Amino acid sequence: MKPDYSLYLVTDRGLSRGRTSMEIIEAAVKGGVTVVQLREKHANTREFLHEALKVRNFCREKNILFIINDRLDIAQSVDADGVHLGQDDLPIEYARRFLGPDKIIGTSAFNETEAMEAEKAGADYLGISPIFTTPTKPELETGIGIDGLRKIRKSAKIPMVGIGGLGSTNAYDVIMAGADGIAVVSAIVSAADPEKAAAEIKSEIERARKDML
């Protein structure tokens, strides 16, 4: 089955307004999320593993792609669909030795050079970041914008997911610029109604795809 990266949820318990990751995920999937990336920056290994098992079981039941952020050991332990690696994480070619050819490896890219290097190394998809500035990545002071995304799209052949300050107001433009999907953190995780927020973003993604035909 070809992965569907169209609406890619990245979890963040710090932005969830007191709700659990599972509560957010269940609602967001109802709204149309197609990929769930579990990101646990502050959990210890046992906590991360316990949470990953719950999310994996749910995603399998709903036929949703399940990705682990950063932690190759957790991804292997729970048999996740794949892992997302940052520029400072284990290099793609080494991660592939552990995960094998059938698992998905995504990586973050901030410019054309990083995107091309990741594709050459065997990444399955790119997380192009940040399209716009976002409070979830305060260390990134400027975004590459729609024009920067278009430039990378001309060079990269593998699927690209835009991330950084994205939601229903700009998802259309990001898809029209060549992204295969929209990755979202706060626009869903912090929303009063995550299901409704996801549905609104998904509607804009589908509208862009129709207009591209």
Q: Which residues are catalytic?
A: 39, 108, 137
Grade residue 66 by pLDDT with cuts at 50, 70 and 90.
very high
Mean pLDDT score of the chain, rounded to an integer? 95
Amino acid in the structure at residue 176: M
Angstrom distance (rounded) from CA 196 to CA 28: 8
* Domain 7-212 class, CATH top level: alpha beta
- What is the domain partition of the chain in residue ranges? 7-212
Task: Please give the pLDDT value at position 59.
Answer: 98
Averaged pLDDT, 30-38 = 98
Task: Please give the pLDDT value at position 143.
Answer: 84
| E strands in the chain | 7-10, 35-38, 65-69, 82-85, 104-109, 125-128, 160-163, 181-184
Q: Is the pLDDT of residue 136 over 80?
A: no
Angstrom distance (rounded) from CA 197 to CA 141: 26
CB 159 within 8 A of CB 178: no
pTM of this prediction? Answer: 0.95
Task: Please give the pLDDT value at position 133.
Answer: 74
Q: Is the pLDDT of residue 139 over 60?
A: no
Angstrom distance (rounded) from CA 35 to CA 7: 6
Which secondary-structure segment (H or E) carries 59? helix 45-62
Q: How far is CA 35 from the centre of its chain?
A: 7
Q: Is the pLDDT of residue 102 over 60?
A: yes
What is the share, in percent, of the chain residues with pLDDT greater than 70? Answer: 96
Averaged pLDDT, 123-135 = 89
Angstrom distance (rounded) from CA 33 to CA 25: 8
Q: Is the pLDDT of residue 172 over 80?
A: yes
Q: Is the pLDDT of residue 140 over 60?
A: no
Adjacent-strand bridge partners of 126: 107, 160
Q: Is the pLDDT of residue 101 over 90?
A: yes
Averaged pLDDT, 78-86 = 98
One-character DSSP codes across 142-204: S--HHHHHHHHHHH--S-EEEESS-STTTHHHHHHTT-SEEEESHHHHTSSSHHHHHHHHHHH
1 or 14, greater pLDDT:
14
What is the share, in percent, of the chain residues with pLDDT greater than 90? Answer: 92
